[in-house]
Amino acid sequence: MRALAIIVFSACLQQAAEATTLQQLTLEEMAQQSTAIVRAKVTGSSGVWHGTDVFTVYQFETLETVKSQNGAPPVEVGVPGGIAGGVRQVVAGAPLLRQGREYVLFLWTGRSGLAQVIGLSQGLFAVERSSAGDVIATRGTAGERMLDRAGHAARDEALSMPWAELRSKVIQALKAGTMAAGRP
């Protein structure tokens, strides 16, 4: 009986996971809406229950901070889905991070205090080194349904650029957002 309940529960989760729809976010919107933006290396992970949902909580070593709301960037980031207490939940669009890899993360922290990647996979860039030794930040296209601000179907685009250029664009977006809000 318990096995049947787990199968039915898993099927329901799979249907919900397939229904994921993302709001398309520009780089500028992600920068302005994030509570923290960091370049960091994954040092570990664990599956945990957060309310009725399973999250994979990744631990990080922060290498560089571009934006931080309260001075110190989060050292843990929750991603929906994972395995906890023998239960596996899958969430379409949720990124999978690898221990030892470096990433640029656009994060937001909700009322629960759990930092998460903004826009699921949209706010995550993998960091690689080119053959010349340059640090390159790359984000693939999101495979999930995506809508623009007006609610129309939108196509996501992959992004790849040197980390210095991405950081510069983020800083410009943050300055523009501060100026638009009337703050010096």
**Segment 135-181, tens digit of pLDDT:** 999 998 877 787 888 888 888 889 999 999 999 999 999 999 766 65
For 88-95, what is the mean pLDDT?
91
- Run of H or E residues at 89: strand 87-89
| Token duo for residue 91 | 């969430």
Give this prediction's pTM: 0.82
Domain count, the chain: 1
- Angle (CA) 70-71-76 rounded to 5° is 75
Only one residue has tokens 């529960």, namely 9
Please answer whether residues 36 and 68 qualify as being in contact, where contact means their C-beta atoms are separated by less than 8 angstroms. yes
- The pLDDT of residue 180 is 62
Residue 161 sits in a domain whose CATH number is 2.40.50.120
In angstroms, rounded to a whole number, what is the distance separating the alpha carbons of residues 177 and 8? 46
In angstroms, rounded to a whole number, what is the distance separating the alpha carbons of residues 104 and 97? 11
Residue 108 scores a pLDDT above 80: yes
Please answer whether residues 22 and 122 qualify as being in contact, where contact means their C-beta atoms are separated by less than 8 angstroms. yes
Give the range of the structural domain holding residue 149, as residue numbers without chain letter: 2-180
- The pLDDT of residue 179 is 60
For residue range 35-88, what is the model confidence (pLDDT) as tens digits?
Answer: 999 999 999 999 999 889 999 999 999 999 999 987 778 889 999 999 999 999
At residue 29 the predicted structure's pLDDT band, cuts being 50, 70 and 90, is very high
